Amino acid sequence: EGKAIHLPPLACAAFNADFDGDQMAVHLPLSAEAQAEARSLMMASDNILKPADGHTVTMPSQDMILGLYYLTTVIDGAKGQGRVFSSLEEAEMALDKHEIDMQAKVLIRLPQDFVLPKDWEPGEVKVVDPEPGSPDVVKEERFHDGSVLFATSYGRILFNGTLPVDYPFVNEQAPKKRLSKIVDDIATRYSTAQVAVTLDALKDLGFTRAPWSGVSFAFSDVIQPPELDEYIEKYEGEADKVNENYE
């Protein structure tokens, strides 16, 4: 509506767009040759890397990072920690029934084509509220058919679902810096088309899950330093002196 330009969130960094009233020029290639050249040289999907240093210029930011950070965070003692599932579908069903938390570390049996993290070694997970007669610790293991009982959270399963199928599983928290390294690594391993698909998937997942985090802050969360009033009074006095000398 109106004359506002709708810019995809992932393209904002490349244009240094911050949505505070910036103006942007619109160029219209008229000839067929100019249009073909623009498509081949100027498409955002073909300009993912910075020419200066080779890092990705198209990166998730703000709400996207919040949603992805929430998904990849594991909370010790969360509801359902230590439960064992025979498949992803069973774990998803338990999540839908509120039997496990999105951020609980659970054990899921994954197929043999599942790509484990490079440094993976079988570990163990403490069970929260085990049933009478059940073990209070469950161990990861690899089975004879190649499948593996893997400890992770369902949130991390969703996060890794946006990455290329043959990319090693990221079983750790992904704040902004870690996310940047993951995207840079994917950009060096895969084609620009695959990187664009991955970035779009990360964007959609981050936006979708950000509200789930319930993160908000109020004025009371902004803590005022005790010496702030003293500093303000001091420098307002100095500003008054400068104004008096000028006048």
pLDDT digits (tens, 9 = 90+) for 13-67: 888 887 777 788 888 999 999 999 988 888 877 778 777 777 788 888 889 999 9
Helix H or strand E segment including 15: helix 12-15
Summary mean pLDDT of the chain: 87
Q: Give dist(CA 24, CA 51) in Å, integer.
A: 22
At residue 210, the pLDDT reads 92
Q: Is 127 inside a domain boundary?
A: yes
Q: Is 86 inside a domain boundary?
A: yes
Confidence bin at 136 (pLDDT 50/70/90): confident
Q: Is 195 inside a domain boundary?
A: no
At residue 207, the pLDDT reads 93
Considering all CA atoms of the chain, what is the largest pairwise distance in Å, rounded to the nearest integer?
87
Q: Domain count of the chain?
A: 1
Beta pairing partners, 84: 107
pLDDT tens digit sequence for 94-131: 999 999 999 999 999 988 888 888 888 888 888 887 77
Q: Is 14 inside a domain boundary?
A: no
State the average pLDDT over residues 216-233: 89
Tell me which residue of 211, 119, 123, 203 sits closest to 159, measured CA to CA: 203
Q: Is 21 inside a domain boundary?
A: no
Tell me which residue of 185, 173, 165, 172 sits closest to 111, measured CA to CA: 165
Between 2 and 222, the more confident residue is 222
Q: Is 28 inside a domain boundary?
A: no
The DSSP result for 204-236, as a single string, is HHHHHHGGGG-----GGGSPPPTTHHHHHHHHH
Helix H or strand E segment including 125: strand 124-126
Q: Is 96 inside a domain boundary?
A: yes
Between 127 and 74, the more confident residue is 74
With pLDDT > 90 as the criterion, what percentage of the chain qualifies?
A: 45
Q: Is 118 inside a domain boundary?
A: yes
Residue 73 has pLDDT above 90, yes or no: yes
How far the first Cα of the chain sits from its last, in Å, is 50
At residue 137, the pLDDT reads 84
**Token pair recorded at residue 9:** 């969130």
Name the residue with tokens 């089975």. 143
At residue 214, the pLDDT reads 87
Residue 4 has pLDDT above 90, yes or no: no
Which residues form the domain of 95? Answer: 76-153
At residue 43, the pLDDT reads 82
Residues 3-31 as b/e (b if ≥16 CB within 10 A, e otherwise) read eeeeeebbebeeeeeeeeeeeeeeeeeee
At residue 155, the pLDDT reads 93
Q: Can you give the pTM of this predicted structure?
A: 0.80
At residue 133, the pLDDT reads 72
With pLDDT > 70 as the criterion, what percentage of the chain qualifies?
A: 100
pLDDT tens digit sequence for 180-192: 999 999 988 998 8
Is 198 in contact with 56 (CB distance < 8 Å)?
Answer: no
At residue 1, the pLDDT reads 61
